[in-house]
A = this chain, B = another copy of it.
């Protein structure tokens, strides 16, 4: 499968490091704000929240917010951009907590999920707490414009989660519906994260539109690659496990394309394993073979590159700078990570 993920002649694997280095001070403040805002006299709340939030994910979404703000010249001597980045991470964390309950997941980033340690009830309620805390943070920042962006994004995520639930295990889900789901549940928050960075920096014109578009397209590319990696057979990289989506009967693009392009025997296989969730030993390998045979993985990465290209182009109006380069490299990283 290595050929589908070739680096196309590039010398060095793209990395998130330049962006992380340029935003290190801001992100350290975001870390402190996260810890501060998780506090509660009800000790289960910081305990459970810290298990997830402190687990050291990439913090890609808050990183987008502070980077967008700085790219737009944010230089205020306050912490509004830090609060917004924290807010974005809390919205994301809340949805992860609820997702893991809904998906009955036991592992996330190689560690036990909060629901598997503290139970579904605690995860639902602490998720609610993080959701509401995120709104307190937005209100603190005090911009109705920003509140509009983030409240609409939150609502879209929730709508997307329900849409995903109702399309679950429906093998005839069209690609367009799949795209709606990943836009709503992933890309919309990337878009909002970048957009509010522009707004807090006072750039409400083309920069705001550009960053919203950058975030949206980056988010779509990111999720497409995530969904591809679930079948890519390279467990080691990123600590990502392979086959989770398959075992849950999740409808992702590799499966959709493989089903559409396959013959009667292939389709029967997908109906049994995904729709009926009747899975046997060797089925995951068989799924990977069918996906490979139908170029479904290659083309999922291809689709990701398309959105990645749009993300890059959206940045055209910004002048050259190390930060802009780092953001563009982050797009390449989102697509070429794990290779």
Chain A residues in contact with chain B, CB under 8 A?
Answer: 40, 42, 44-45, 95, 98, 101-102, 120-122, 124-126, 128-129, 131-133, 135-136, 138-139, 142, 144, 147-148, 151-152, 154-155, 157-159, 161-163, 165-166
Contact = CB atoms under 8 A, between A and B. Distances in A.
A154 B135 contact: yes
A152 B135 CA distance: 8
A120 B122 contact: no
Contact of A162 (B98, B129, B142, B147): B129
A58 to B, nearest CB: 23
Nearest to A146: B139
Nearest to A130: B158
Contacts of A166: 42, 44
A163 B132 contact: no
Contacts of A159: 40, 42, 45, 129
Contacts of A44: 162, 165-166
A120 B102 CA distance: 8
29 contacts: A40-B159, A40-B162, A42-B159, A42-B162, A44-B166, A98-B124, A101-B124, A102-B124, A120-B120, A121-B165, A122-B162, A125-B158, A125-B162, A125-B165, A126-B158, A126-B162, A129-B155, A129-B158, A131-B158, A132-B151, A132-B154, A132-B155, A132-B157, A133-B158, A135-B147, A136-B151, A136-B155, A139-B151, A147-B147
Contacts of A144: 139, 142, 144
Q: Indicate how many identical chains form the complex.
A: 2
A265 to B, nearest CB: 32
The main secondary structure of chain A at its interface with chain B is: helix
A311 to B, nearest CB: 26
A128 B125 CA distance: 11
B131 A102 contact: no
A153 to B, nearest CB: 9
A289 B98 CA distance: 41
A132 B184 CA distance: 14
Nearest to A147: B139
A154 to B, nearest CB: 4
Nearest to A126: B162
A326 to B, nearest CB: 32
A158 B45 CA distance: 10
Given A135-B154, A139-B148, 20 more contacts: A42-B159, A42-B162, A44-B166, A45-B162, A95-B128, A102-B124, A125-B158, A125-B162, A126-B158, A126-B162, A129-B162, A131-B158, A132-B151, A132-B154, A132-B155, A135-B135, A135-B151, A136-B151, A139-B144, A144-B144
Nearest to A98: B124
Nearest to A133: B155
A127 to B, nearest CB: 8
A128 B101 CA distance: 13
A45 B165 CA distance: 11
Given A98-B128, A128-B158, A136-B155, A42 B163 contact: yes
A266 to B, nearest CB: 29
